[in-house]
């Protein structure tokens, strides 16, 4: 399943090289990321903080995700887990951006099951119900396609923002 998610761009691996030591990066990470558990937090949009990310870091591994803001239209579903490796006075960050969570399988399975039952009901009734079949298939593709494109965009945007922000953290004083 993991390979399939990588092929359809719902999971992405990135590598970022920074000219900084692991200790300095860890300090900058803690300054720019609020320490939180990445689980579901109700009313997260109402919590105030100047930091854009929430997550935690310990030694040579980290995890983070974007903080939800009130009235924010950028859907940020992606979570990042990564490792820090220091080589030749450079820090190499290997990160995996995960946009698809296991619990989404239940939702997508329920949607597909609903449409299959509806199509089977249309076929069993017979008569002129085949006229509605193309419209139902188009509707099903939209209902499954929109979440896919939103999640894929979230993963790509997180990859871009993460690389940009890490470089900014290192270069700013």
CATH number for 155: 3.30.530
Mean pLDDT value of segment 46-73: 83
- Give the predicted TM-score (pTM) of the model: 0.85
**Within a domain: 73:** yes
56's enclosing H/E stretch is strand 53-58
**Within a domain: 66:** yes
Does residue 29 carry a pLDDT above 90?
yes
**Within a domain: 32:** yes
Does residue 128 carry a pLDDT above 60?
yes
Does residue 120 carry a pLDDT above 80?
yes
In this structure, of 5-9, 57-61, 124-128, 152-156, the range with the lowest mean pLDDT score is: 124-128
pLDDT tens for 132-160 read 888 989 999 999 999 999 999 999 999 99
Count the domains in the chain.
1
Pairing of strands 53-58, 79-87: unpaired
Domain span at residue 14 reads 2-103+141-171
**Within a domain: 57:** yes
**Within a domain: 134:** no
**Within a domain: 119:** no
**Within a domain: 167:** yes
84's enclosing H/E stretch is strand 79-87
Nearest to residue 165, comparing CAs of 69, 75, 96, 64? Answer: 64
Q: What percent of the chain has pLDDT over 90?
A: 62
């Amino acid at each position: 399943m993991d390979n399939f998610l990588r092929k359809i761009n719902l999971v992405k691996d990135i590598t970022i090289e920074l000219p900084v030591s692991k200790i300095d990066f860890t300090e900058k990470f803690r300054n720019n990321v609020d320490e939180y558990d990445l689980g579901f937090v109700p009313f997260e949009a109402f919590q105030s903080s100047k930091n854009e990310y929430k997550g935690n870091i310990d030694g040579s591994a980290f995890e983070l995700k974007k903080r939800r803001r009130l009235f924010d239209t950028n859907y940020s579903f992606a979570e990042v887990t990564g490792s820090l490796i220091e080589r030749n006075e450079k820090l190499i960050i290997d990160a995996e951006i995960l946009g698809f969570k296991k619990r989404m399988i239940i939702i997508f399975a329920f949607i597909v099951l609903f449409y299959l039952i509806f199509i089977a009901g249309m076929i069993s009734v017979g008569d002129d119900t085949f006229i509605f079949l193309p419209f139902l298939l188009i509707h099903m593709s939209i209902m499954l396609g929109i979440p896919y494109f939103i999640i894929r965009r979230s993963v790509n945007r997180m990859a871009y923002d993460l690389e940009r922000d890490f470089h900014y953290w290192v270069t700013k004083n």
